[in-house]
Amino acid sequence: MASTPTPHIGAQYGEIAETVIMAGDPLRVQFMAENFLDNPVQFNNVRGMLGFTGTYKGKRVSVMGHGMGIPSIGIYTYELYNFYGVKTIIRVGSAGAYSMDLHVGDLVIAEGACTDSCYGDQYHLRGTFAPIADFDLIRRAADECTRRGINYKVGNVLSTDVFYSDTPDINGWIKMGVLAVEMEASALYMNAARSGNKALAICTISDHVITGEDTTAEERVTTFTNMMEVALSLL
């Protein structure tokens, strides 16, 4: 395809599978490639955003980083959907819990993604677009969590643009039943909707905004394997 490589992905068309599992941290991507994929081949290192294609239980799959925040995942997922023929993107990320029913290590399957971002303004809609995941992916991910005995919740997350807020106020989101906060799912879901493709975000709780539970950077790379295995089960 003449439009590949893109400005941000160095792969040729055909080097990336139709299903891509993405994480913000390229080191988590490398961990997935080395520990879950057979015969992984690196297809990208532009800007250090690692990407690999291999097989999992005989099924072809790619894993790739998407960086932090809506602008970053917006660029990478747009190029994957629109230039590389990708049909499904599953984000395996970390999230900070709002719900008191969630604890470090639990999973959140993001049915919808609220946002304080202006990313959706580009579509010139006369209202507020509600970014949602693909229902079949949600259902199968939930079933897999149940089968494995993994603690999880399905519901709304907040995709925020701001990590260090000058005026933090989460009470409104908590009152509306938002389960957790992360920084990418809404843009992923919008790009999937606009391109007519599928998306899902599965997040591991890495910290709790209210109780102060927390994890280390190393733990976020190497111990969040439940969500990786759930994502790979959806191939």
Question: pLDDT (tens digit, 9 = 90+) per residue, 16-26?
Answer: 999 999 999 99
Tens digits of residue pLDDT in 131-150: 999 999 999 999 999 999 99
Q: What is the mean pLDDT of residues 210-235?
A: 95
Q: What angle do CA 218, 219, 223 make, to 5 degrees?
A: 130
Q: Is residue 235 part of a domain?
A: no
Instruction: Domain count for the chain, please give it.
Output: 1
> Does residue 130 sit within a domain?
yes
Predicted confidence (pLDDT) per residue in 195-221, tens digit: 999 999 999 999 999 999 999 999 999
What is the residue-wise DSSP string for 24-79?
SSHHHHHHHHHHH-EEEEEEE-GGG--EEEEEETTEEEEEEE--SSHHHHHHHHHH
DSSP 9: -
Q: Which residue has the tokens 């602008």?
A: 71
Whether residue 1 is predicted with pLDDT greater than 60 in this model: the reply is: no
Instruction: Check pLDDT > 90 for residue 156.
Output: yes
135 lies in a domain? yes
pLDDT at residue 92 greater than cutoff 80: yes
Note the pLDDT of residue 168.
85
* Options 101, 161, 207, 214, the catalytic residue: 207
How are the residues of the chain apportioned to helix, strand and coil, as percentages rounded to the nearest 5?
A: 35, 30, 40
38 part of the active site: no
Report if residue 234 sits inside a domain: no
Residue 141 belongs to domain with CATH number: 3.40.50.1580
Domain residue limits at 125 = 19-227
- Percent of the chain exceeding pLDDT 90 equals 97
Task: Return d(Cα 19, Cα 100) in angstroms, integer.
Answer: 33
